[in-house]
Structure 1
């Protein structure tokens, strides 16, 4: 038992230290995904220490280290819980009507089309977006086009296809390929019936992992290109998608500062989405950020429809005259802007090895 305890302490140290190392290799980036689990396990191992009661002198140093490690992770994660108090906002006379949408990584090889269509018909969102949607999914979703007459489709078979469907009028839309010609992002400009305009971005950069991209260079570059584009737009903006990243990572924070957007998870919840089948090993990688004149009323996951990601539901309103969220905006300093530019160039120069057509193993 004492040996097992010491092995766990060493592993917890490595999983905590690796994300602090300034390398974009997946070995150092992936441990950040499991910060919630690492925090819980740290506390459990700390309690285990009182059970084994090792007689070794340095045992109490290990216990002290675990306590400090738990506090370190806890101070980061508490921001993404209701324990971190933020001001709540209600719509007023200057607000738009309530707008709600669903964001879903559908998993390209999931063919349970009916479950997803049933989810849309039940929730009746004003908009919904899909990631990993290929021609099969596009054909299946045609039955919804009567209710969602406005859409933007990027049909790919490489697990990076994406589709955006809307009841709200799309004034214009475009597809960006910021760092690679097979990794799209959608930028859609919408106008509501009550005259409010806003911009919706859909993103899905590739993940750093042993089975996909060796580094996070393309992911980080793609997200920071989106951030630079966002800052040029003088309209309310929402950026949504499978970021293949977590909100507390260095690159996510740099994205938030560069784009000058707000993370709605702060003061609410983790909203963990992946993996849908394993609740204890679920990470919040389907993220969302918004500008100061967009106010989030509800943000949550919905039931699984057969994908490896849970869908995300959000309800919001727009209020141009409410400035109460300005205090939540952080801006990148000169060093951070320089770092963002370097990461963009690295992302564009990275040669991702992806197949044009990906088949399930």
Structure 2
């Protein structure tokens, strides 16, 4: 048992150190996703370790585990209600009516179309976004078009299709292909009935993994291209989607600083979404960021509907005269801006390994 304990200590140390290596290769990036689970295993190993006192080396291993726990906890506590933040959930007289959004990676080969349609009808969002949606999903969602007359569709068969539907007036919409011609992002300019304008961004960059992209270059380049585009927009902005990233990763932090957006999970919750079937192995990779004049009232996951992701539900309002969130904005320095530009170029130059995916 002592040997097994030492194996866990070494493994936890390796998983903690890997993300600090400045490489975009997937093996160095995936440990970022499991920070919550790594910390839980470190705590369990630390507690169980008290049963295995054997020699003086035990003190070193237990101290190392304690340092690992502290290291991860310093980051993770920011995404819990124990982290002190100014909570602003009530609107003022200058605010818009509340708006609701659903963002869902539907899993392209999920054929339980009715479950997702029922979920939309039940929760009645003003806007919803689907990712991995192809022509089959586009046909299945036609039944919602009477209630959602404004839409922008990018049907692809490579698991990167996207569909945007809105009850709110759509003034302009465009599809961006920032780093690759098969990885779309949707930019939609909306105007509410009470006269408020905002911009909705839907994104879904590819993940670094042994079965998909070998590096994070395309993902990071796509995210930071979106961040630079958002910085040019003078309206309130909300960005949602399957980021294939976690909020505490280096590229997510850089995304937030370049775009001047706010992470609504800070001081609230992880909002873990993937994998929908395995609660203990669930990561928060369907993210959301927003500008300072958008105020989040509620952010949560909804029930399963046959996909490998849980959908994300958000309720928010817009208030141009309220500057109480200004202090939450972090800005990139010149070194970080240069690094972001370099990562964008690397993403554009990376050769993707995606083929068109069709069901037999």
Shift of 1:358: 4.2
Secondary structure of 1:283's match?
coil
- Aligned partners of 1:95 and 1:320 also within 8 Å: yes
**How big is each residue's C-alpha offset from its partner over 1:165-220, in whole Å with a ceiling of 9 and x where there is no partner?**
00000000000000000000000000000000000000000000000000000000
Q: What are the ranges of 5 or more consecutive residues in structure 1 without an aligned counterpart?
A: none
Shift of 1:359: 4.0
TM-score in terms of structure 2 length = 0.99
Aligned match of 1:82:
81
Secondary structure of 1:189's match?
strand
Aligned match of 1:59:
58
Shift of 1:225: 0.2
Secondary structure of 1:52's match?
coil
Secondary structure of 1:39's match?
helix
Aligned match of 2:320:
320
Q: What are the ranges of 5 or more consecutive residues in structure 2 without an aligned counterpart?
A: none
Q: How many Å separate the matches in 1 of 2:359 and 2:10?
A: 38
**How big is each residue's C-alpha offset from its partner over 1:267-308, in whole Å with a ceiling of 9 and x where there is no partner?**
110000000000000000000000000000000000000000
**How big is each residue's C-alpha offset from its partner over 1:93-132, in whole Å with a ceiling of 9 and x where there is no partner?**
0000000010000000000000000000100110110000
**How big is each residue's C-alpha offset from its partner over 1:146-183, in whole Å with a ceiling of 9 and x where there is no partner?**
00000000000000000000000000000000000000
Q: Residues 136-175 of structure 1 correspond to what in structure 2 (within 5 A)?
A: 136-175=136-175
Secondary structure of 1:60's match?
helix
- Aligned partners of 1:243 and 1:286 also within 8 Å: yes
Aligned match of 1:127:
127
Q: How many Å separate the matches in 1 of 2:206 and 2:177?
A: 13
Q: Residues 139-288 of structure 1 correspond to what in structure 2 (within 5 A)?
A: 139-288=139-288
Give the number of equivalent residue pairs: 359
Aligned match of 2:70:
71
1:335 aligns with 2:335: yes
Q: How many Å separate the matches in 1 of 2:101 and 2:49?
A: 47
Secondary structure of 2:85's match?
coil
Q: How many Å separate the matches in 2 of 1:36 and 1:16?
A: 11
Q: How many Å separate the matches in 2 of 1:182 and 1:125?
A: 28
Aligned match of 1:355:
355
Q: How many Å separate the matches in 2 of 1:88 and 1:253?
A: 21
Q: Which runs of 4+ in 1 moved over 6 A?
A: none
TM-score in terms of structure 1 length = 0.99
- Aligned partners of 1:172 and 1:189 also within 8 Å: yes
CA-atom RMSD, angstroms?
0.7
- Aligned partners of 1:159 and 1:358 also within 8 Å: no
**How big is each residue's C-alpha offset from its partner over 1:25-73, in whole Å with a ceiling of 9 and x where there is no partner?**
000000000000000100000001101222x211100100101110110
